[in-house]
Structure 1
């Protein structure tokens, strides 16, 4: 193991400090930083497209040089570029595969910036939303196949693309390289989170000017650390693919071009950090939305007792859910069956509204009866409590259910300043067409497609993959961006810093407290958002 570690460290020195390699890494890092800086806002521009094209070319050339170095062939740029051009389509396929595999892992901070520009037909987006569980399982299987393919055949591809490479690494070597790369990432993550804690502490005890300078220094350290870990991870993986060759000691020589490249990287990194400081923190007023009409487990979700209780806290909206019943009416219920809340293996479509109203539901040691939509809406109107109505759909829904809903309740909802949203875009499109004055939003279970693909009056973005790019894309369409469902103070503060217009939460009072903090005390949230963006 000691011998392995010694050779690995030498491979890092060779891959980093060989003059041609150092300049190449500086170019790749600078281009990544440039693409990130240019892609802050949704849409395309000529500089952004040019930067992406040059980045793709430079990355292929750098990887080719690295393979030549680790195959004990002296890197030579003209020869390298000829080889890249000769195998351009293979390189394009390899880089496309790397992008697909890196998207769920952040893609060096570019995942949201790529996905927010992904246009897709409404029917496809809706298919993914309605059948998200089988879609996720299928996507995980495809991802596993692609990752396994890269693991087994990646070294062979490099051997085919580089005639000087006479051997390639084994699967155990490749697995060891992946473990080392994960360990490096873990070290970076731990150090970054430690910096978040330091910023959190200083925001509460230090001066405002000191907090701002500490934030700038922390952003720089996080960026430098991630850059170094990324390059070392690539060096480790490619070294293992080349059969872990024992390399001669690196002769350190630096050129003026490498120095100039380093200065360019510093300038571009400064631009990325400055962008993070300017675009965040937002800390605008947040719309407070009670998820399923509860706050901190007080009351049973979607019941009248919970509505009366939470309305005393005056949320901007109470979010609640509707299902169609057997007799084509509406019951206030989230789940597609009654197993969890009522311990009955039945669905709303199997029971009439009268039968459902007789059922007791249980949650957090409390009990209440299911409510009809008419009763719930009437109670909300008497309490002067605006609602955010989520219409649930199933294949068993009757023909024209949404149309009847709009005809029966649309004008009342408009008068009550209520809003409607749904995971089913057919609901969104039909209600917007029939009731232009009613605000209708679309719920995205994953933030993975350009919001412009699914036009709506507002968007409910899932919290786990929420990013500033999706919020900005919604704002570009003139639509508010709400986030569901942050329940901890840290998550609430992070979403507040991102610029979310509202948050749908199970902890309403906690959200009110979190978004009432003095802004100077929550600068740390900008740093943590910066870390998560990578």
Structure 2
């Protein structure tokens, strides 16, 4: 937080110093100074989805989050994300419409805050708004090209010295590109006076700060741990139907450490093997399974009971990682009921349970203290290190080094899902995870990882940091 406040202060100073000669020699009144830094804070907030010079992932992984909050946000993620995207686009569009506000505010005119907003609105135009959006798109494309280009070069030439130079180059060049775009957008009059000593001091310190943060965010890779291979829904390379006893029987012969599968609770408290929260009922909208009785679900769909699946898994000596599915309509005592119903079967092998439902995991842990419980992420956000679980199953596309560091603080196991490409498998392994949930278990089993040769993959993490 202190680093973030320093960064915002430095950013405001760079913007002020970069004003044309005459503007930055004006005496700042307290009102103008407050207005300047409120505007800079607002710009920093708007820049969060665009990486904020590498701070976004750091901030996202540091947000305190309770178990109940984590579950609610994850269950309602689609509505929340769409709503936030709409609000963000509106806020960014309106801000671009009044993008000359800062120059007008810091001019010699003593116009009030509201009058300055009106002047900035009047100064804008539809054409200017379109050009502003294009400038942001140009920045995104440029940052993407810089990072992927440097990554591709490291893929072709494996050299540790080149690797460290590449990290420094990304951390130096990308913030300049983003800063230039921000300055260009939020006043057409802003320019760099390269003869200004203050500009070099403030700009240099700001770049140093972002470089340090960026360098800390991408690790240098870890010697890969032996990967725990977790067969996603019991299927390997599309050789069966997920979450079925037939697939379990077919693929347990490979003796992978775990088969991951999904269960849903019906309205009358039966647990069935199913991934999707809803089932289709003729002449009706899709219905959530936990609002229907087992008899109703069976009337329209083939159903396999979890109790039968668990018995077969125990007979085949195949440990499971069971994903307990959660919706807004899930029964409040679902975890306790699940543990009570399957207490004996769950303790025959080292079966595990993971879920987005933190409260249900804690219910299971209270009933079955020796059963390992894990938190599944769909959106990688928040500081989850204080949540009392044994392991994490993290969505692999947006997993960051900050998140892995916070989750790994107590040596808890970290898995990623669903890694099916060689690139994704390399990245997760070199970032230091303990295992991977995959539809391509054989591919992962035969994956040969060389840290010095494959470290280049980690440079792709800068796409998460800066975009």
* Residue of structure 1 in register with 2:146 after alignment: 191
* Residue of structure 2 in register with 1:379 after alignment: 312
Contact 1:460 1:481 in 2 (8 A): yes
* Residue of structure 2 in register with 1:409 after alignment: 342
* Residue of structure 2 in register with 1:170 after alignment: 124
- Secondary structure in 1 aligned to 2:354? strand
Contact 1:498 1:529 in 2 (8 A): no
Give the superposition deviation at 1:281: 3.9
The 1:455–1:152 alpha-carbon spacing in structure 2 relative to 1, beyond 3 Å, is: farther
* Residue of structure 2 in register with 1:420 after alignment: 353
Give the superposition deviation at 1:57: 1.8
- In the aligned structure 1, how far is the partner of 2:105 from the partner of 2:196? 32
Q: 1:218 aligns with which of 148, 162, 166?
A: 166
- In the aligned structure 2, how far is the partner of 1:184 from the partner of 1:404? 53
Structure ranking higher on relative contact order (CA contacts 8 Å, 6+ apart): 2
- Secondary structure in 2 aligned to 1:451? coil
Give the number of equivalent residue pairs: 454
Q: 1:297 aligns with which of 232, 235, 238?
A: 238
* Residue of structure 1 in register with 2:398 after alignment: 465
- In the aligned structure 2, how far is the partner of 1:269 from the partner of 1:113? 12
Matching of residue 152 in structure 1 with residue 91 in structure 2: no
- Secondary structure in 2 aligned to 1:312? helix
TM-score by length of 2: 0.85
Q: 1:73 aligns with which of 2, 14, 22?
A: 22
Matching of residue 533 in structure 1 with residue 440 in structure 2: no
Question: Hey, which of these two has a bigger chunk of helix by percent?
Answer: 1
The 1:312–1:93 alpha-carbon spacing in structure 2 relative to 1, beyond 3 Å, is: farther
Give the superposition deviation at 1:233: 0.8
Give the superposition deviation at 1:450: 1.3
Q: 1:430 aligns with which of 351, 360, 363?
A: 363
Contact 2:291 2:329 in 1 (8 A): no
Runs of 4+ in 1 over 4 A off after TM superposition: 164-169, 257-279, 343-347, 349-360, 395-399
Give the superposition deviation at 1:467: 0.3
* Residue of structure 2 in register with 1:496 after alignment: 429
Q: 1:59 aligns with which of 1, 6, 11?
A: 11
Give the superposition deviation at 1:216: 2.1
Q: 1:333 aligns with which of 251, 255, 274?
A: 274
Structure 2: runs of 5 or more not aligned: 111-115
Q: 1:90 aligns with which of 18, 32, 35?
A: 35
- Secondary structure in 2 aligned to 1:75? coil
The 1:481–1:162 alpha-carbon spacing in structure 2 relative to 1, beyond 3 Å, is: farther
- In the aligned structure 2, how far is the partner of 1:64 from the partner of 1:344? 57
* Residue of structure 1 in register with 2:226 after alignment: 285
Contact 1:222 1:531 in 2 (8 A): no
- Secondary structure in 2 aligned to 1:500? coil
Matching of residue 135 in structure 1 with residue 80 in structure 2: yes
- In the aligned structure 1, how far is the partner of 2:285 from the partner of 2:90? 39
Contact 2:396 2:419 in 1 (8 A): yes
Contact 1:359 1:370 in 2 (8 A): no
- Secondary structure in 2 aligned to 1:296? coil
- In the aligned structure 2, how far is the partner of 1:53 from the partner of 1:326? 50
Give the superposition deviation at 1:192: 2.5
Deviations 1:28-48 (Å, cap 9, x if unpaired)? Answer: xxxxxxxxxxxxxxxxxxxx6
Deviations 1:153-196 (Å, cap 9, x if unpaired)? Answer: 34335523543599755232243133134224313322331222
Deviations 1:190-240 (Å, cap 9, x if unpaired)? Answer: 23312222222334xxxxxxx212212322332232133113212321333
- In the aligned structure 1, how far is the partner of 2:206 from the partner of 2:227? 37
- In the aligned structure 1, how far is the partner of 2:288 from the partner of 2:193? 72
Give the superposition deviation at 1:312: 2.9
- In the aligned structure 2, how far is the partner of 1:505 from the partner of 1:230? 36
Contact 1:303 1:370 in 2 (8 A): no
Deviates more, 1:318-327 or 1:259-268: 259-268
Give the superposition deviation at 1:320: 0.7
Give the superposition deviation at 1:73: 2.2
Matching of residue 487 in structure 1 with residue 427 in structure 2: no
Q: 1:110 aligns with which of 34, 37, 55?
A: 55
- In the aligned structure 2, how far is the partner of 1:449 from the partner of 1:102? 19
Contact 1:299 1:305 in 2 (8 A): yes
Deviations 1:123-162 (Å, cap 9, x if unpaired)? Answer: 3332212222222222222222321331233433552354
* Residue of structure 1 in register with 2:113 after alignment: none
Matching of residue 522 in structure 1 with residue 462 in structure 2: no
Contact 2:262 2:324 in 1 (8 A): yes
Q: 1:322 aligns with which of 241, 250, 263?
A: 263
